[in-house]
Structures are given as C-alpha cells and as structure tokens.
Structure 1
C-alpha cells in the first residue's frame, strides 16, 4: 500500500511539473535579481558612474546582447549550470543599466510604470493561456513590427523628434503587449507537448529560454511605459 501511495505521489508530482509554471518562476527570479542589482547601484551611488560613462554603458549593452544571442542559439548544447549562469549574469547586467533610470525619472513615476506594466503583462498572459484563439498567425506581423520599431528608433536618434519618440513609445507598448500574448501561448503549447517527455536538464533549459523571452517582453514594455509616464510628468 505504501508503495502504491508513493507511486501515486510521484505520478502527481510529474503531472504538476510543467515548463510554463517553471518559466514564470525563472522569469520572476530574473526580474527580482535585476531589481536587487539596480537597487544596490542606486543606494551606493554607482549608477551615476555608469550614466556618466557612455563607453561603459555601450559595453554593457553589447555584453547583454551577446548573452541573449548565446542563450537563444546555444541553449541545447549548454549545460544546465551554464544556462542558469548566463541568464543570471544577463539579469544582473541589465540591473546595472536599469539603475540609470533613477537619474531620469522620479520614484513615483517608476513605480507607476512598473505596476502598470505588471497589470498589462499579467492580463495578456492570462488571456493567452485561457483563450481558444490560435495566436500563431501573429508571429509574422509582430516580427515585422519589431523590425519597423527598431528602424524608427534608429532614425529618431538623428531626428531627435519628441513627437516621433512619443509615437514610438506607444507603438512599443502595443507591440510588446502582442508579443507577450504570442510568446505566452507559444510557451504554453511547448509546455503541453514537452513537459512530461524531456529529461530534467532539458526541462530546466527550456524553462530558462522561455523565461528569457517573457523577461524581455516585460522589460521592454516597462521601458516604453516609463517614457510615456515620464514625459507626462
């Protein structure tokens, strides 16, 4: 009887083991680490040194991009430890860059932007998980929108148009709102098909890759929200 009870418990644990649930745990851990690092640089005043050194900021951004591309392209060949470390280092470095927002926006604006982003992100994630609508067709248009947003942002670096910057920010929120829903449903479908068929190492690595995707959606949505709220203030 004890053996049957143990087997039933193991079976239930296996059924509860889903990539989607793990994705949100890793994403939350990444955001928490980013916040802790940003807070540390704020309290110590190191964020001012980062902001006053464009070369350092540019270098951090380049390193972050390298880490993202490495994690996205090499996840299957990386060890679990390397995948966790890469995600952690990226979240930490992003915290250093994020600490500079305290020089540009007041705490009230930052808090409002974060809460607004969390509410919007949570709503779209919940809708994507529960809706019966197939969002796979959104992918092509969202990628086109992302390319267009990047091009518009680069052009506005030279034009320095405040009006265009405002429009880009609204477009960015709309785009990453759509990406949040699209990516969430894609991860949900992957979770359904692979959660119980992969080994523990692959399970963790797929969870980290999904967490990185949603982490990027959240951070970008937050930054665009911050630009809009900051301008209004």
Structure 2
C-alpha cells in the first residue's frame, strides 16, 4: 500500500498554493494591462479626432473630462460589494475608457517622444516596485497609513492648483506624487498577496482581484502623468 509522507503532503500543498497565488496575481496584472491598453486606444482616438477633442477640451466639458475618472472611482468603490464579478470587470473597463477620454489631452500638449519616455520610465518603476512588494519579507502594512495621508495631500493640492496654476507648486506635487505612488505600488502588491492568503477559496476573491487591478492601474497611470509633467516636452 502506497502512502504519502507528511513532508510530501506539505510540499504538494505549498506548490499548489504558489501556483494558485501566481495565477491570481497574473489575472490582476492581465486585467490591469487590458485596462491600460483600452485607455491608450481611447486617448489616441479622441486626440486624433479634432472635432471631438475640440468639443471636449475647448469647452467647459473639459471639467467633466477631468473630474469624471475621480467620480467613477468613488462610485466604483462604494458599489463594488453590490456588483457581480462580471459587473465589476465591466465597470473597471468602462472606467479605463473614461480615463482615456480624460488623458487624450496629453497627446495635444506633449510630444510623442516625451510621452513614450515617461510611460516606459513609469512602467519600469512600477515593475521593479511591484516585484519588490511581492517578494519582500518586510511588512509594509505600517507604510500604508503614511502613504494614504500623502495621497490625500497630493490630490487636495492638485485640485487647488487647477485654479492657481502655479508651476512651482505643480513641480512639488509631481515629485511628492511620484514618491507616493511608487510606495503605493509596492504596498498594494503586498496587500493583494496577503488578501489572497486570507480569502483563498472565498467567492469574494474574484471581485477583490478586480479592485486590485484598479489599484495597480491607478498607481501606474498616476506615476506616468506625474513623470510626464516633470520631464515631458510640450508641442511647439
């Protein structure tokens, strides 16, 4: 009669856990990547259609384009518990499309080279920090509260500066913002890993993965926009 040793059972359980965790995280990154692709396509389409871009950014509709993503995120966060997994995924991609409309203006303001440079810089930072957050043994929980305070400050000052138009203040916000979203990338990655450990096998985990994709998406998008503001060259 063949028997499996306790060590073999433990090894198999560990391998199964690692496989499930990798699949969970890859699913989050896949949804995030699809959201980024949708945002880019919508932004390019709006920027490449002069009548549409003029209608949006040459009229008071620009304020709707600016604030719609923020309103969408708040709505999404409050309604996620009442959504199905399919509904949450649809809402995430709808948000990505709305963000694309909002971001179309960057193609009208900055050169293509500086946009690409800022994006690849942000993507490289994101990949490194997310990998660190996934692999580090250091508990980043305490960092979360500090980063959230920084995030609220960045959002508040950015909104105020929409009306002040101070270039010096904008530069300061951009530098602080890059640091905050860099930290959030590592913190969110570790948080998502911890959530999988806690809720593995629970039905709610699928929706939590969608929210995780949204969190990482926002970290990368915001790092990109802030870096573009710091290093981007404007169209002449």
TM range, smaller chain? 0.7 to 0.9
Alignment CA distance shift 1:12-1:145 (3 Å) = closer
SS in 2 for 1:76: helix
Alignment CA distance shift 1:113-1:76 (3 Å) = same
Q: Where does 1:45-56 land on structure 2 (aligned, <5 Å)?
A: 45=50, 46-53=52-59, 55-56=60-61
CA RMSD across the alignment: 2.4
1:132 equivalent in alignment to 2:132:
no
Aligned to 1:227: 229
* In structure 1, C-alpha distance between the alignment counterparts of 2:96 and 2:102, rounded to whole Å: 10
The alpha carbon displacement at 1:227 in A equals 0.2
The alpha carbon displacement at 1:226 in A equals 0.3
Aligned to 2:48: 43
The alpha carbon displacement at 1:174 in A equals 0.7
1:122 equivalent in alignment to 2:127:
yes
Alignment CA distance shift 1:43-1:156 (3 Å) = closer
CA contact (8 A) 2:31 2:213 kept: yes
Aligned to 2:5: none
Aligned to 1:208: 210
SS in 1 for 2:91: helix
Under a length normalisation based on structure 2, what TM-score does the superposition of the two structures give? 0.84
Alignment CA distance shift 1:112-1:121 (3 Å) = same
Alignment CA distance shift 1:61-1:19 (3 Å) = farther
Alignment CA distance shift 1:147-1:12 (3 Å) = closer
Aligned to 2:81: 76
Superposed CA offset, 1:129-165 (max 9, x none): 0111100001111111112222332443444322221
Higher normalized contact order (CA 8 Å, seq sep 6+, divided by chain length)? 1
Alignment CA distance shift 1:13-1:176 (3 Å) = closer
In structure 1, runs of 5+ residues without a counterpart are 1-7
SS in 2 for 1:217: helix
Aligned to 1:16: 20
Aligned to 1:141: 146
CA contact (8 A) 2:55 2:61 kept: no
Q: Where does 1:64-103 land on structure 2 (aligned, <5 Å)?
A: 64-103=69-108
SS in 1 for 2:196: helix
In structure 2, runs of 5+ residues without a counterpart are 1-11
* In structure 1, C-alpha distance between the alignment counterparts of 2:166 and 2:18, rounded to whole Å: 54
* In structure 2, C-alpha distance between the alignment counterparts of 1:157 and 1:61, rounded to whole Å: 10
Greater Cα shift, 208-217 or 13-22: 13-22
CA contact (8 A) 1:149 1:168 kept: yes
* In structure 1, C-alpha distance between the alignment counterparts of 2:124 and 2:147, rounded to whole Å: 21
Superposed CA offset, 1:148-206 (max 9, x none): 222332443444322221111111111110111111110111122323x123xx34311
